[in-house]
Amino acid sequence: MGSENTKLYFYPFWLRIWHGINAIGIILLIFTGIAMQSGFDASFIKFQLAVNLHNISGIAVTLNYLLFFIGNIVTSNGKFYLIKPMGFLKRLMKQAYYYAYGMFHGMKAPYPLSEKRKFNPLQKYSYVFVMYLFVPFVIISGFALLFPEMIIDKVYNLSGVFLTAVLHSAAGFFISIFLLIHLYVASIGKFPVENFKSIITGWHNIH
């Protein structure tokens, strides 16, 4: 069978369910977070409604994150997130060069996907960084803001609540940027919608 017809089952049902709920939840958190930051009733949503939706979405994303975390422990999907320290920077730079220059000049992908490789190095490192560092931080800081009595009153003469809110917003902004990059990279392929179909069907075409 030619490589153009090769399909790999990259996205099991539980992972597709997690991805769908997470996508909706994160988008709601971004828009309601922006509305809340404005400090007044935005034209597209009332402030109190934004607060309520933000809190509900945050709880939903938190429970959904448990599905992702536990799923990667009890299934083989977790192996795709393991990072080998040896040659870490070299692989990262090689993939970055391909994205910035190579793919626009006919170069072959340096790390093609296979049964053993679901992500290229840049994808893997960014996913691990976001999913195992930033998302947990946003969840923990979000619950701290929901229950401010848990927060330390002062941190170096700064209000603990204020500092938590700033760090929560900064991490949320980073995830927003990551989402935009994620959507752009997902559109790279033989057809722009091909990768989006993969996350719905579970099957990924290897070219």
Q: What's the CATH number for 3-206?
A: 1.20.950.20
- Tell me if 172 sits within 8 A of 29, measured CB to CB: yes
pLDDT of residue 43: 64
| Single-letter residue type at 24 | I
Say how far apart CA 111 and CA 95 lie, in whole Å: 8
Strands 154-155, 158-159: pairing is antiparallel
Which tokens in the block code for residue 21? 């709920």
In the chain, what are the domain boundaries?
A: 3-206
- Tell me if 172 sits within 8 A of 33, measured CB to CB: yes
pTM assigned to the model: 0.87
pLDDT of residue 38: 75
pLDDT of residue 42: 58
Closest to 15 in 3D by CA, of 85, 82, 70, 94: 70
The number of residues in the chain equals: 207
Name the helix (H) or strand (E) containing 91. helix 88-100
The string of pLDDT tens digits covering residues 4-38 is: 568 899 999 999 999 999 999 999 999 999 888 87
Q: Does the pLDDT at position 107 exceed 80?
A: yes
Which tokens in the block code for residue 24? 């909706």
The string of pLDDT tens digits covering residues 36-94 is: 887 666 566 888 899 999 999 999 999 999 999 999 999 999 999 999 889 999 999 99
| Single-letter residue type at 44 | F
